[in-house]
Amino acid sequence: MHVDLIKRLRTIHVRLDHDLRAEIARRYPDQARVNALKKLKLSIKDRLNAVGPNTATA
């Protein structure tokens, strides 16, 4: 069960990272969206750390 959860969380983390980089690369990034994506990404990373050691992505 933990393995599936870790895989899902990592997938979400990667997707959020991609979305965040894309938003920042825009000519006029939406700062509210950037902040929301950063907050979500940090939340996922915290959940990964809670599941077990060495499960968080960089």
Are residues 56 and 48 in contact, defined by beta-carbon separation less than 8 angstroms? Answer: yes
- Which structure tokens are listed for 55? 């499960």
Q: Which residues contact 9 (CB under 8 A, 6 or more apart)?
A: 44, 47, 48, 51, 55
In a domain, 37, yes or no: yes
Decide: helix, strand or coil at residue 14.
Answer: helix
Q: Is residue 57 part of a domain?
A: no
Domain region containing 18 = 2-51
Question: Is 56 part of any domain?
Answer: no
The more confidently predicted of residues 52 and 21 is 21
Of all residues in the chain, the percent with pLDDT exceeding 70 is 88
- Count how many domains the chain has: 1
Query: At 58, is the secondary structure helix, strand, or coil?
Result: coil
23: in domain: yes
Give the separation between CA 48 and CA 9, rounded to whole angstroms: 7
Residue 58: pLDDT over 90: no
